[in-house]
Structure 1
Amino acid sequence: MTLATPLPPLVIATRESRLALWQAEHVKALLQAQGHQVQLLGMTTKGDQILDRTLSKVGGKGLFVKELEVALEEGSAHIAVHSLKDVPMDMPDGFALACVMEREDPRDAFVSPRYADLDALPQGAVVGTSSLRRQVLLQALRPDLKIEPLRGNLDTRLRKLDEGQYDAIVLAAAGLKRLGMTDRIRSIFEPTAMLPAAGQGALGIEIRTDRQDLAQALAPLVHLPTWLRVAAERAVSRGMGGSCSVPLAAHAVLDAGLMRLDAAWGDPEGILPLVQVQQTAPVSTLEQAEALGTDVARRLQAGGAKVCSNA
């Protein structure tokens, strides 16, 4: 393996949750294997601090990345590692997504100390989730369930479940697997039942646009098939105003140059029916992936899905 030309020591800005630190350490190890010196800068974001309200009521996905972007702007850090599902669809001026890494399992996990899967829950059981997407999809599957907000990092959510505040909770399978907590997963939701969030399970690395040297250093970490898939998914979300919290799911599968993109939109008030779209197209470039996602967003709107009013 040819090592990259080492840059001055690199600083990774990261949230301080156990999962975020795992992700940053993972990127650090890969960059060190390329011959770079790397250190971490742990930070607390507003999304980590506000735990008594749902994200949709306090500003949406950007709450988890703003402080990291300030560190990049000020030069105290050079790159920021994000869970892509937490990254707004449109980056601020001067910032760019420079790398998307190979995806972990994008599906959702059912976690419960007492029940094996969603079907096993008794009528009126309490299920915790912080996601509007999961809320509307759970309500479509089991209208009888009581869906309650669940905020906090992964360990906090599991503690609240173990304390008996919920009968079950729904989490991203990727986070549990990355932290070696696969034993907490009672069952996995297949995408046909619970369509994942755009970018779920994938890591993205953000830089300032004027740092093309960093883009070159990160190039060996890029996994193009994952980037194509999440580019299509994020284009659906962008077309639906997805930088605010939208009850939207999007999941792409790429096989031999052909991409199938599934998307769903639900009404958080439970009045309008679930809108679902599937579309297939040849995809080999980011532009083609984004065009497919944009088409799917238009079809969702044609089917009755509502664009986020804050877009």
Structure 2
Amino acid sequence: MVQSPFLRIGTRGSALALAQAHQVRALLAAAHAVGEEEIDIEIIRTSGDMIQDRPLSEAGGKGLFTKEIEEALLRGGIDLAVHSSKDMPTVLPAGLGLTAFLAREDVRDAFIGHAVARLADLPGAAVVGSASLRRQAQIRRERPDLETVLFRGNVPTRLDKVRRGEVAGTLLAMAGLKRLGLADRATEIIAADRFLPAVGQGAIGIETRLDDTRTRDLIAPLNDQDTETALRVERAFLKVLDGSCRTPIAGLARIEAGRILFDGEILRPDGSESFRVVRTGGLAEAESLGHDAGIELKARAPADVLVHV
């Protein structure tokens, strides 16, 4: 008689997605004294993985990395899904929720250069590849003399393209490089106050069916409260702005001494202007703090900037 798995994890099939799923599996196995082999990992190919020839903003946005996984979750084919939180839309399908977050990794961006180590050292008109409109706008703000181009593919693929000199450099999340054991490929780590990261960057989110109390109870020991609070702030901020892959938006909440410190930013896609908001508040104010910060930026930014939001 075949024994049912203890839990079934759904994930994308990229090297980074699998590293994150294996991390969650190891933590679950340790928390519940079961063998890792008793927890299945189901690889699900998403629309976002299949579209490589154009920006995802032209094909439907962030939800393309989650749609098929969430469909499997809703029909009961898996018990939980492991995501990079920055890939998650602010509105999830009815009946699903982000119900746990692992302790957050490094939130910073890393520059990986081909012939130079730092973004500032690139010669004028050098080409920098990025799939992120936020990073493209931040690069253009700092170095308007550079050219930015669409740069799709998983982390190893992008690193290989830089190594071959197809572009002069790229920016990637330091968290992803660390999880893949590739942190040494970063030639410059960029401070978060210089390039404010994407909402959710560095945080692994676990999505479940809201009515699946068994799974929710099993993943509860993995939840990091500070990360959950920070993500509630950031996602509330993003939701007000109706942010999608079309929108250069950045936001970072930190928890220090029992207080929330939040920085949010919206940029013109060409980097010529940016608008920033700072908020502090108590832990109980997480969602209202993020919401209010979004409202302020929406009021301050010129109407033609908000066309992109």
The TM-score range, normalised by the shorter chain, is over 0.9
Structure 2 counterpart of 1:31: 28
1:214 maps to amino acid: T
Checking the alignment, whether the CA contact within 8 Å between 1:241 and 1:309 is kept in structure 2 is: no
Structure 2 counterpart of 1:99: 100
Checking the alignment, whether the CA contact within 8 Å between 1:96 and 1:207 is kept in structure 2 is: yes
Aligned counterparts of 2:254 and 2:241: Cα–Cα separation in 1: 20
Aligned counterparts of 1:40 and 1:8: Cα–Cα separation in 2: 10
Aligned counterparts of 1:199 and 1:38: Cα–Cα separation in 2: 26
Checking the alignment, whether the CA contact within 8 Å between 2:114 and 2:165 is kept in structure 1 is: no
Checking the alignment, whether the CA contact within 8 Å between 1:265 and 1:305 is kept in structure 2 is: no
Aligned counterparts of 1:98 and 1:254: Cα–Cα separation in 2: 19
Q: Please report the RMSD computed on the Cα atoms of aligned residues, expressed in angstroms.
A: 1.7
Superposition map of 1:77-92 within 5 A: 77-92=78-93
Cα deviation, residue 259, structure 1: 1.2
Cα deviation, residue 310, structure 1: 9.2
Aligned counterparts of 2:255 and 2:151: Cα–Cα separation in 1: 32
- With 138-147 and 236-245 compared, the bigger mean Cα shift is at 236-245
Aligned counterparts of 2:306 and 2:72: Cα–Cα separation in 1: 29
Structure 2 counterpart of 1:277: 277
Cα deviation, residue 229, structure 1: 1.0
Aligned counterparts of 1:243 and 1:207: Cα–Cα separation in 2: 22
Spell out, residue by residue over 1:199-234, the C-alpha distance to the aligned partner (whole angstroms, 9 max, x if none).
Answer: 000000001111012111111000001111121111
Superposition map of 1:1-311 within 5 A: 9-33=6-30, 34-36=32-34, 37-270=38-271, 273-283=273-283, 285=284, 288-304=285-301
Aligned counterparts of 2:114 and 2:244: Cα–Cα separation in 1: 34
Cα deviation, residue 91, structure 1: 1.0
Label 1:305 to 1:222 Cα distance change in 2 as closer, same or farther (>3 A).
farther
Checking the alignment, whether the CA contact within 8 Å between 2:298 and 2:306 is kept in structure 1 is: no
Checking the alignment, whether the CA contact within 8 Å between 2:86 and 2:201 is kept in structure 1 is: yes
Cα deviation, residue 113, structure 1: 2.7
1:27 maps to amino acid: V
Cα deviation, residue 244, structure 1: 4.8
Checking the alignment, whether the CA contact within 8 Å between 2:133 and 2:245 is kept in structure 1 is: no
Aligned counterparts of 1:309 and 1:140: Cα–Cα separation in 2: 19
* Partner-residue secondary structure (3-state), 1:102: coil
Aligned counterparts of 1:61 and 1:235: Cα–Cα separation in 2: 16
- Unaligned segments of structure 1, at least 5 residues: 1-6
Checking the alignment, whether the CA contact within 8 Å between 1:241 and 1:308 is kept in structure 2 is: no
1:35 maps to amino acid: A
* Partner-residue secondary structure (3-state), 1:198: coil
**Percent identical:** 43
Label 1:213 to 1:245 Cα distance change in 2 as closer, same or farther (>3 A).
farther
Q: TM-score, normalised by structure 2?
A: 0.93
Structure 2 counterpart of 1:4: none
Checking the alignment, whether the CA contact within 8 Å between 1:108 and 1:189 is kept in structure 2 is: yes
Aligned counterparts of 2:103 and 2:26: Cα–Cα separation in 1: 15
Aligned counterparts of 2:91 and 2:64: Cα–Cα separation in 1: 14
Label 1:133 to 1:211 Cα distance change in 2 as closer, same or farther (>3 A).
same
Spell out, residue by residue over 1:233-252, the C-alpha distance to the aligned partner (whole angstroms, 9 max, x if none).
Answer: 11111111024532100011
* Partner-residue secondary structure (3-state), 1:97: strand
Aligned counterparts of 2:83 and 2:72: Cα–Cα separation in 1: 14
Label 1:254 to 1:23 Cα distance change in 2 as closer, same or farther (>3 A).
same
Label 1:305 to 1:182 Cα distance change in 2 as closer, same or farther (>3 A).
farther
Checking the alignment, whether the CA contact within 8 Å between 2:140 and 2:270 is kept in structure 1 is: no
Aligned counterparts of 2:63 and 2:113: Cα–Cα separation in 1: 29
Q: TM-score, normalised by structure 1?
A: 0.93
